[in-house]
Amino acid sequence: MMVIRPIRSSDYESLHNIAVESGIGFTSLPVNEELLRNKIAGSEEAFNSDVNGPGDESYLFVMEDTRNGDVVGTSGIQAAVGLDDAFYHYHVGKVAHASRELNIYNLVDILTFCNDYTGVTEVCTLFLSERARFASNGRFLSKFRFLFIKEHAERFSDTVIAEMRGVSDENGNSPFWEWLEEHFFSMDFPTADYLTGIGQKVFIAELMPKYPIYVSLLSKEAQAVIGKVHDKTRPALRLLESEGFRSRGYVDIFDAGPTVEANVEHIKSARNSLKLPVKVGQPDDKAEKQMVINTSISDMRGVVTQVQVDEEVAVISGEAAEALGIGEGDSIRFAPITNKGK
């Protein structure tokens, strides 16, 4: 059985292996021991903190295969971005150049440097090892976070965003960054990406163009990838879109990948979730598979299992109850692993 739980200090080697496998462009997991250990320590502190509102807490989860104790994936939630370090984006807007006398009207796309998402919650650091990409593992590792946010709403913002990895080749070269590098920077994309990942962001404010950029002035290759995602990121984007996330024209400043957003109450898994006390038993064979979390924070656990709603209780198996660390009468929050209806 796959169980999702908070990361622990003993998971460092597994997290390091995931960081290596994730490759260039996965900014939130650079291959840097000090930073990865700090991420784990920061997450442990967040899970054990008493919080009344979203702050700089960073919650990092892992997916563990209970058959062998193997950690096969990770995903995270940043309670409020941009409170310690500036959180940068480009916003794709338009400006009109018109002359009534000459009967000329041109509507031009521009990129404006901004910090508009400061203070919102971000779902981030999602990566599942190739060996575990089967069944519903990928969906579960992504979507359970919406149950956690719903259950512990006081810890998070009403707005949730996700940054999607933009287009780059097998060597990590980004067409969008290549244009920026040529005109404003003297470092390649992997270096800029790595520096951002380890928290060294000062160079962005120092070197990034301060004024809006006319998209038509970019290379054709750079223009073509604005708002587009990496091939390996398409499934993650489709999943978020099925949950109700939409792009409002914000893109990453390095690779121009889109950022999507949704209000918590509009996220399907959060909106359609139920919270009920548990009855330990044997669900009916026709009972639907659900993603289920307990209501704990520091001892949070999540599984995919059959749930039978019987009047005002949720019937789950003894194996699932044990994996969740709960007993008869304890509460769970659950939602279908596959979205149906509204």
Tell me 208's DSSP state. S
Cα distance between residue 91 and residue 36, in whole Å: 30
**Cα atoms in the 13 Å half-sphere on the side-chain side of 167:** 12
* 3-class state of residue 262 by DSSP: strand
Active site residues: 230
Cα distance between residue 80 and residue 98, in whole Å: 41
Beta strand 258-263 pairing with 159-163: antiparallel
* 3-class state of residue 29 by DSSP: coil
Q: How would DSSP label each residue in 110-140?
A: EEEEE-TTTT-EEEEEEEE-GGG-STTHHHH
Cα distance between residue 196 and residue 150, in whole Å: 30
Cα distance between residue 253 and residue 112, in whole Å: 10
Q: How would DSSP label each residue in 68-87?
A: TTEEEEEEEEESSTTSSS--
Q: How would DSSP label each residue in 280-314?
A: ES---TTPPEEEEEES-STT--EEEEE-EEETTEE
